[in-house]
Amino acid sequence: MKDETWIRVATPEDAEELLAIYAPYVEKTAITFEYDVPDTEEFRSRITHTLKKYPYIVAQRGGEIVGYAYTGTFKGRAAYDWSVETTIYLREDQRRNGLGRRLYQALEDISGAQHILNLNACIGYPEVEDEHLTRNSVRFHEHLGYRLVGRFYKCGYKFGTWYDMVWMEKLLGEHPDAPDPVVPFPELSGDVLRGLGIENV
């Protein structure tokens, strides 16, 4: 059966559907350390803010959004411009089917076009796996070529448990003496995005 999933740029109008994907992670897991599910307006504002400089993409199948991913500021200082933080969330019934890899590959391709060199992932990490948090995210990132670069102990408290946090990193290319300036996402042309397999609706 042909995979009819396609990747496109998110819009603020997607907020309600994306929030429906994100909410269970807040309510039932320590994958996010956020305690309260944001309202639709707040989520719409987050999408708008991200798209001013970085990609925010969704995977769509059969008229439904089944996952989303985006990058954002790693650190606010100018010297960090070539590094970004990655984020991904899949609908609960869409795990372990290659969708996460596809979204992350799209983020890598876009980041490369922006001249981004470092991808960084901040991941909740349990000392002992439990019903709220496993080490699956770390394993997922390892499969995609990320390496563990740091661990912070008992820095997040949720569901009555202290959790660790790890940073994982993937380098997209060589680091030249004079890197090309980072291209803000809105300045990437439609032709560039289409060449990467990304639709801009």
Residue 81 lies in a domain: yes
Residue 156 φ/ψ, nearest 5 degrees = -130, 130
Range of the domain at 161: 6-199
- Is residue 146 one of the residues assigned to a domain? yes
* pLDDT digits 0-9 by tens, 86-142: 999 999 998 778 999 999 999 999 999 999 999 999 999 999 999 999 999 999 999
Residue 192: inside a domain, yes or no? yes
Determine if the pTM surpasses 0.75.
yes
Dist CA 195 CA 50 (whole Å): 22
Q: Quick one: residue 96, left, alpha or beta (phi over 0 = left, psi -120 to 50 = alpha)?
A: left
> How many domains does the chain contain in total?
1
Confidence at residue 3, expressed as pLDDT on a 0 to 100 scale: 61
Q: Which CATH number do you get for residue 12?
A: 3.40.630.30
Q: Rounded to 5 degrees, what are φ and ψ at 154?
A: 50, 45
- For the segment 139-158, the average pLDDT, to the nearest whole number, is 98
Q: Classify residue 1: in a domain, yes or no.
A: no
Domain assignment present for residue 136? The answer is: yes
